[in-house]
Amino acid sequence: MEMKITFPGGKKVNAEMGGFVIQTDQPVEGGGAGSAPTPYDYFLASLGTCAGIYVLSFCQLRQIATEGLAITQRMEFDSDQDGRKILAKIIMDIDLPHGFPEKYRNAIVKAAELCTVKKVLMDPPEFEINAHL
């Protein structure tokens, strides 16, 4: 699998993969135009949307109505020993649809925990960065 990272101008950085272009930018206060989410925003969104597909699939497989189904993701930040802001905790609250069977409450939480993005964070890959002329 390969992804091409390009620099279309200003503080914009794009990722091209599988025929899609994921556009990023920095906020105006960071020197960007604020025209797209930041890469960090996409990272946080990838956690919620990844859990979301597992939750959605759980309901669809059991023919449980999904109207009203939602996940609210909250991030808590702390400071490291150097005073830099760090992500300390991610909380996901699953809003279950009306009539959701009580017997599946724990199971849908377990389904959300299957998120592949979360699993990568729990067992991070090795990084190798090279520069070529």
Angstrom CA distances, 42 to 10, 46, 76, 105, 109, stand at 19, 6, 17, 28, 23
At residue 67, the pLDDT reads: 97
Structure pTM? 0.90
Task: Report how many domains make up the chain.
Answer: 1
* Position 106 in a domain: yes
* Position 49 in a domain: yes
At residue 81, the pLDDT reads: 92
Cα within 13 Å of Cα(115), Cβ side = 21
Distance CA 91, CA 101 (A): 23
pLDDT digit string (tens) for the chain, length 133 residues: 999 999 999 999 999 999 999 999 999 999 999 999 999 999 999 999 999 999 999 999 999 999 999 999 999 999 999 999 999 999 999 999 999 999 999 999 999 999 999 999 999 999 999 999 9
Nearest to 100 by CA among 133, 76, 65, 71: 65
* Position 20 in a domain: no
The CATH number of the domain where 52 resides is what?
Answer: 3.30.300.20
Amino acid at position 113, single letter: E
Look up the domain containing 93 and give its range. 37-122
* Position 81 in a domain: yes
* Position 8 in a domain: no
